Each structure stands twice: as structure tokens, then as C-alpha cells.
Amino acid sequence: MGLNNIYKKIFFILAILIIQAIIFSPSISAQNYYADITIDVDSSGFVTIDGITNHPDLLIKNTEIYTSKKQSYWLLNITKNEVFSDFIYDLTLPKGSLINYIKSSGFIGIEEKKGNLFIRGFGENETFSIQIQYQTIKSTENQILELDLIFISLIVLIIILIIIVVFIVIKEKIKVEKTKSNSHDFKGLNQRQREIMNLLIDKNTPLTQTEIQRELNIPKAAVSRNIRGLELKGLIDKEQIGMSNLIRIKKQ
């Protein structure tokens, strides 16, 4: 009977120790981890966590493992299942962010600083977790600036197009006027008079009657007669040089 009592006492003590280990194990493990960190989230969803902690994988730079996006909604989820004896964090969301919901272990406070939403949280003897669903909306000033840039770009483009059109119109006008200045009314001329005019136009230089006769292979008398007719019609000028006459197109 005495031996049985001893066994019962030993069993009872072991049971108490096991129960205490189960009850106090969270608080014991809670002493293992602590954190004093800053969390920055940029407009592209990249997260940087910096500061002081003994947790093996809490600090990280430029990662997307904690964020996801569905349509226009971003979800930030930083959850560590280990119990922290104490933690404190400062979290900054991008400018123009609107929070739809937020869930965090410990206690949190939210404020705005220079267009950024600033969240501060802290806790003791619990897991570290923060979940935020938010939207990033461009500020009114940025929208106005973008609209101004678009408007200015359109104005510049319109001015460039107007300059190009005016240049083309002027160029075509000059071309037409040049064509008109070089054109001659052959109405009322006979065939040989037309040939003489075309020859003078093609050569673009004054010719003597002898040169005209040789180029067109027509009789001398016919050349003289037709040149006289063109002179009377005011189409050519005739200048006597020595024993020959120099024929040129009359300036219009």
C-alpha cells in the first residue's frame, strides 16, 4: 500500500508539471521573439521592413510576397504565427491610399502625414499579424497636373500641324505661281510660231534668228515672218546685234 501511494504521488506531480507546461508554454515561447520595425509600402506594392528584431525572416527589402492586387484593391498581409513577447511597428502606405478594412493583432492607431496613411501598432505576448485592404487613388493635384500636361501636348501638336499645313500651302502656291509665270498663252499662234516659242522656252536663253532657223530647220523668210508676228503679239523681244537679231521671251 505504501508503494502504491508513492506511485500515485509521483503520477500526480508529473500530471501537474505537464499541465503547467501546457498552460505556460505560450508565455515561455513568447519570450523568444520581439520586434521594433518600420514597414514601408510603395505604390507598386513592394514592401520593405526594417528595424530591430530577432525573428529570422521578418526583415526584408523590396518584396511582393506580402501584397496582392485584385482589380483596384490591394491586400497587405504580414502574419507570423510565432508568439512575440512584445512588438511595435510603424507602417506607411502610399500617397492617396484609402483603407477599406484593417485587422491587426495588438493595438493600432491611424493618422495621415503628408498625404501618406501612417499606422502604428504594438502588442505583447501574441502573434504578429496585420492585414489591410486598401486602394491607391491619385491625388487631385496629380490629376490636374496630368490633364495640364495632356492639354499642353495637344496644343503643341496642333501648332505643329498648323505650321506643316501652312508650309505645304505656301509651297504649293509658290509652285503654282512659278508655273503660271513660266506658262505662255499660245492661243492664236500658228504651228511655226508655237515651235519658236517652245524652242525659246526649252533653251531658256536668247537665240539668234540663225540659231532658230538651224534648230527648227525652216526657211529664213519663214523665221523672220513668224518672229515679226510674235513680236507684234508681245510675246518676244527682238534685239539687233550686229548683222543678226537676238530673240528672247518677253517677261510677263
pLDDT digits (tens), the chain, 252 positions: 556 667 666 777 777 777 766 555 544 444 589 999 999 999 899 999 999 999 999 999 999 999 999 988 999 999 999 999 999 999 999 988 899 999 999 999 998 877 788 999 999 999 999 999 999 876 445 566 677 788 898 899 999 999 999 989 888 877 666 555 555 567 788 888 888 888 888 888 888 888 888 888 888 888 889 888 888 888 888 888 777 788 888 876
The number of domains in the chain is 4
Place of cell 496630368: 146
Which domain range does residue 58 map to? 31-137
Asked which of 74, 108, 137 is the last residue of a domain, the reply is 137
Q: Are residues 39 and 105 in the same domain?
A: yes
Cα gap 50→47, rounded to integer Å:
10
Q: Are residues 63 and 161 in the same domain?
A: no
Q: Are residues 78 and 117 in the same domain?
A: yes
Q: Are residues 49 and 92 in the same domain?
A: yes
Burial-class residue 93 by CB neighbours within 10 Å (0-12, 13-18, 19+): buried
The closest of 64, 66, 77, 72 to 135, measured between CA atoms, is 72
Cα–Cα separations (whole angstroms), residue 249 to 127, 199, 244: 104, 10, 17
Cα gap 26→230, rounded to integer Å:
121
Q: Are residues 15 and 41 in the same domain?
A: no
Strand order in the sheet with 244-249: 207-208, 244-249, 236-241
Q: Are residues 105 and 56 in the same domain?
A: yes
CB 97 within 8 A of CB 116: yes
Cα gap 164→173, rounded to integer Å:
14
Q: Are residues 211 and 233 in the same domain?
A: yes
The CATH number assigned to the domain holding 232 equals 1.10.10.10
Q: What is the pLDDT of residue 240?
A: 81
Q: What is the pLDDT of residue 17?
A: 73
CB 199 within 8 A of CB 215: yes
Q: What is the pLDDT of residue 84?
A: 94
Cα gap 174→108, rounded to integer Å:
77
Chain CA centroid to CA 140, Å: 20
What's this model's pTM, rounded to 2 decimal places?
0.47
Q: Are residues 106 and 122 in the same domain?
A: yes
Q: What is the pLDDT of residue 129?
A: 94
Q: What is the pLDDT of residue 87?
A: 95
Q: Are residues 210 and 236 in the same domain?
A: yes
Q: Are residues 35 and 25 in the same domain?
A: no
Enter the C-alpha cell of residue 252.
510677263
Q: Are residues 87 and 168 in the same domain?
A: no
Cα gap 5→225, rounded to integer Å:
160
The CATH number assigned to the domain holding 52 equals 2.60.40
Q: Are residues 145 and 133 in the same domain?
A: no
